[in-house]
């Protein structure tokens, strides 16, 4: 069954070519024979057109079904009952610098994926890995030790994770003149793994600065983390697994003492699992972490939301788990996403040219506030601020989610906040407009089933789009693609706006029906935006 390119060819079409072969008949004849034979009250008519059998849905019946169902099920319209337990890993930062715009994309994806999973009836939990040990962490420590003068976030009145990040940048700057620093960082890691008191004390202090700062940022995104993991607490177990697998002969050892596996058969080459000096690397912890989570949650699926720069890492991780005999490795899924750039070019944390998540949100907040000042200057300040925050978040979420997750994004703040284009604020605005019609009309949902009058084209297309929502939500769930939902929402809003321009609702002889249609629209748009983790506003 195909969807024909134009409405004149019906809503669905069946090409008869496949039958032509089997029946050894001309497909045009098959189409006309079938057209004469089948009928159903679901279809206004079924017509042969050349080799195609075209089906025209009975829109009145569709409208009756769709609107009654939407207004009965409300926020549950389109939902399902799959009942799997799914873990989503996000945003898993390193504790040597604040969250940047890439983490924002990560968090936003995770929150949308969570809503999509829940809407399909799954239990979805967000788990976070804090990568709080390793050479990169030692870099911030060393720079602080050398150049920090015992500064504190309080003394400098600075957000604490930003202070940590400053020293990460400082390290990279100093490294240019003094390459020895690289060795110092490696030595610092050895000391840390050996439990050197001074190193540990400084690490604890700076780590808590980083983590406390993250917490504040998560709050701005309304991110709720169900469980936190810390690399510092799990990496040793990772080491043990590597050594056990060495005993079993699945891991090899080099002359210099490094442990590695050869994954060239899988096309992944050789992979070190423990360095020659005995220290663990990034992947060491991940091996154990997967086992730990499986034991703790016995999940049906585990989705790692991590940038596509780490595709190789996850290919290796999954290959290792398979090699070590864990058959549930097929429940693990790497949801990768593309980089986020600004118009000014690629970001680098080390050089301090990143866009920080906190700054980003603040900038969007003030852009949104400007828009609100322009339109509704007489609102109380508190109300303005609350609306601005929601609008800013909707702008960011929508801008990120409307793009295929694998594609890179060039973020343009002003564009994202526009009320008139394909943006989050435009969708919120359209929603609020529908709600204001209902308020003005003092609309109350009638308890009786909705009567459908003769329908015009704009009403028909609005109803079609509304009735497509469940199928679209399912598709987005199966492919974990929020962009399908974003595109659907935008189309829905546009169709509504066209409908609204060509049909005066209030005062029309069909007012009760039209109000039900507006109510159904606002409900479905709300459901759809919820899947993007975007909260609606009743007034805007
Ligand atoms: N902390 C890592 C980074 O910032 C990402 C961790 C991804 N998750 C994992 N289980 N390895 O690059």
DSSP result, 85-139 = EEEEE----BTTS--BHHHHHHHHHHHHHHHHHHHTT-EEEEEEEEB--SHHHHH
* Residue closest by Cα to atom 5 of ligand 1: 92
Ligand 1: does its nearest atom lie under 6 Å from the Cβ of 371? no
- Ligand 1 atom having least distance to the Cα of 283: 11
Extract the tokens encoding 322. Answer: 């398979």
**How far, in Å, from the CA of 131 to the mean position of ligand 1?**
7
Residue 480's region, left for phi above 0, alpha for psi from -120 to 50, else beta, is left
Indicate the pLDDT class of residue 354, thresholds 50, 70 and 90: confident
Ligand 1: does its nearest atom lie under 6 Å from the Cβ of 286? yes
Contact 140, 171 (CB under 8 A): yes
Average pLDDT over residues 210-229: 98
Secondary structure class of 185 (helix, strand, coil): helix
* pLDDT for 347: 53
* pLDDT for 448: 86
**How far, in Å, from the CA of 154 to the mean position of ligand 1?**
29
Q: Is the pLDDT of residue 346 over 60?
A: no
Ligand 1: does its nearest atom lie under 6 Å from the Cβ of 430? no
How many Å apart are CA 529 and CA 389, to the nearest integer?
16
* pLDDT for 449: 87
Q: What is the pLDDT of residues 129-149, one digit of tens each?
A: 999 999 999 999 999 999 999
Contact 496, 466 (CB under 8 A): no
Residue 339's region, left for phi above 0, alpha for psi from -120 to 50, else beta, is beta
- Ligand 1 atom having least distance to the Cα of 286: 10
* pLDDT for 262: 97
Indicate the pLDDT class of residue 7, thresholds 50, 70 and 90: confident
Secondary structure class of 48 (helix, strand, coil): strand
* pLDDT for 531: 98
Average pLDDT over residues 41-45: 93
Ligand 1: does its nearest atom lie under 6 Å from the Cβ of 235? no
Q: Is the pLDDT of residue 231 over 60?
A: yes
Q: Is the pLDDT of residue 271 over 80?
A: yes
Q: Give the chain's mean pLDDT.
A: 95
Give, for ligand 1, the residue of 310, 339, 340 to mutate: max count of ligand atoms closer than 8 Å to Cβ.
310
Secondary structure class of 270 (helix, strand, coil): strand
Flag the least confident range among 78-82, 191-195, 410-414, 427-431: 410-414
Extract the tokens encoding 123. Answer: 């239990």
**How far, in Å, from the CA of 317 to the mean position of ligand 1?**
12
Q: Is the pLDDT of residue 345 over 90?
A: no
* pLDDT for 349: 56
Residue with tokens 């057109």: 49
Q: What is the pLDDT of residues 407-435, one digit of tens each?
A: 999 999 889 999 989 999 999 999 999 99
Average pLDDT over residues 341-358: 72
Ligand 1: does its nearest atom lie under 6 Å from the Cβ of 140? no
- Ligand 1 atom having least distance to the Cα of 289: 10
Q: What is the pLDDT of residues 484-534, one digit of tens each?
A: 999 999 999 999 999 999 999 999 999 999 999 999 999 999 999 999 999
Give, for ligand 1, the residue of 88, 90, 92 to mutate: max count of ligand atoms closer than 8 Å to Cβ.
92
**How far, in Å, from the CA of 128 to the mean position of ligand 1?**
9
Q: Is the pLDDT of residue 367 over 70?
A: yes
Ligand 1: does its nearest atom lie under 6 Å from the Cβ of 94? yes
* pLDDT for 161: 98
Average pLDDT over residues 13-29: 95
- Ligand 1 atom having least distance to the Cα of 306: 7
**How far, in Å, from the CA of 415 to the mean position of ligand 1?**
30
Q: Is the pLDDT of residue 163 over 90?
A: yes
CA end-to-end distance (rounded Å), the chain: 42
Extract the tokens encoding 194. Answer: 């050996």
Indicate the pLDDT class of residue 114, thresholds 50, 70 and 90: very high
- Ligand 1 atom having least distance to the Cα of 131: 1
* Residue closest by Cα to atom 6 of ligand 1: 92
How many Å apart are CA 258 and CA 276, to the nearest integer?
4
Ligand 1: does its nearest atom lie under 6 Å from the Cβ of 234? no
* Residue closest by Cα to atom 8 of ligand 1: 92
Ligand 1: does its nearest atom lie under 6 Å from the Cβ of 129? yes
Pairing, β 43-49 against β 52-57: antiparallel
What's the order of all strands across the beta sheet hosting 269-274? 252-253, 259-263, 269-274
Helices of type H across 221-306: 231-247, 282-297
Ligand 1: does its nearest atom lie under 6 Å from the Cβ of 306? yes
**How far, in Å, from the CA of 333 to the mean position of ligand 1?**
14
């Amino acid at each position: 069954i195909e969807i024909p390119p134009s409405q004149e060819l019906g809503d669905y079409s069946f090409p008869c070519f496949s039958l032509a072969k089997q029946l050894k008949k001309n497909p045009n004849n098959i189409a006309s024979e079938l057209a004469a034979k089948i009928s159903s009250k679901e279809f206004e008519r079924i017509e042969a057109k050349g080799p195609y059998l075209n089906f025209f849905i009975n829109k009145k019946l569709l409208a009756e079904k769709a609107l009654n169902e939407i207004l009965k099920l409300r926020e549950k319209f389109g939902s399902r009952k799959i009942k799997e337990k799914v873990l989503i890993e996000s945003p898993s930062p390193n504790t040597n610098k604040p969250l940047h715009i890439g983490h924002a994309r990560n968090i936003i994806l995770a929150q949308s994926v969570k809503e999509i999973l829940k809407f399909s009836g799954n239990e979805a939990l967000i788990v976070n890995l804090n990568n709080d040990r390793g050479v990169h962490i030692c870099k911030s420590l060393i720079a602080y030790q050398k150049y920090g003068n015992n500064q504190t976030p309080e003394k400098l009145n600075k957000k604490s994770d930003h202070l940590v990040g400053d020293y990460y940048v400082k390290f990279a700057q100093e490294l240019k003149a003094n390459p020895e620093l690289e060795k110092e960082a490696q030595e610092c890691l050895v000391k840390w793994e050996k439990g050197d008191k001074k190193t540990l004390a400084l690490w604890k202090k700076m780590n808590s600065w980083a983590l406390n700062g993250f917490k504040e940022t998560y709050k701005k995104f309304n991110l709720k983390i169900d469980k936190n993991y810390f690399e510092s607490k799990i990496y040793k177990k990772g080491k043990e697994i590597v050594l056990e697998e060495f005993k079993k002969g699945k891991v090899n050892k080099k002359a210099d003492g490094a442990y590695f596996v050869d994954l060239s058969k899988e096309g992944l080459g050789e992979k070190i699992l423990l360095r020659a000096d005995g220290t663990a690397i990034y992947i060491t912890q991940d091996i154990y972490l997967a086992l730990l989570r499986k034991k703790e949650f016995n999940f049906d699926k585990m989705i790692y939301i991590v940038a596509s720069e780490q595709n190789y890492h996850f290919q290796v991780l999954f290959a290792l788990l398979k090699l070590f005999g864990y058959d549930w490795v097929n429940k693990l899924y790497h949801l990768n996403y593309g980089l986020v750039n600004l118009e000014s070019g690629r970001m680098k944390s080390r050089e301090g040219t990143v866009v920080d998540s906190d700054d980003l949100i603040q900038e969007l907040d003030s852009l949104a506030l400007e828009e609100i000042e322009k339109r509704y200057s007489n609102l109380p300040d508190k109300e303005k601020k609350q609306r601005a925050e929601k609008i800013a978040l909707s702008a960011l979420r929508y801008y990120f989610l409307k793009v295929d997750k694998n594609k890179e994004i060039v973020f343009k703040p002003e564009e994202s906040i526009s009320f008139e284009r394909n943006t989050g604020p435009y969708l919120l605005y359209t929603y609020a407009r529908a709600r204001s019609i209902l308020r003005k009309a003092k609309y109350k949902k009638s308890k009786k089933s909705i009567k459908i009058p003769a329908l015009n084209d704009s009403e028909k297309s609005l109803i079609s789009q509304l009735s497509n929502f469940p199928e679209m939500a399912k598709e987005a769930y199966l492919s974990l693609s929020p962009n399908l939902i974003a595109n659907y929402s935008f189309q829905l809003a546009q169709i509504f706006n066209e409908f609204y321009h060509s049909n005066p609702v209030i005062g029309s002889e069909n007012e009760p029906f039209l109000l039900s249609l507006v109510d159904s629209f606002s409900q479905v748009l709300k459901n759809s935006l919820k899947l993007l983790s975007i909260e609606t506003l009743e007034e805007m």
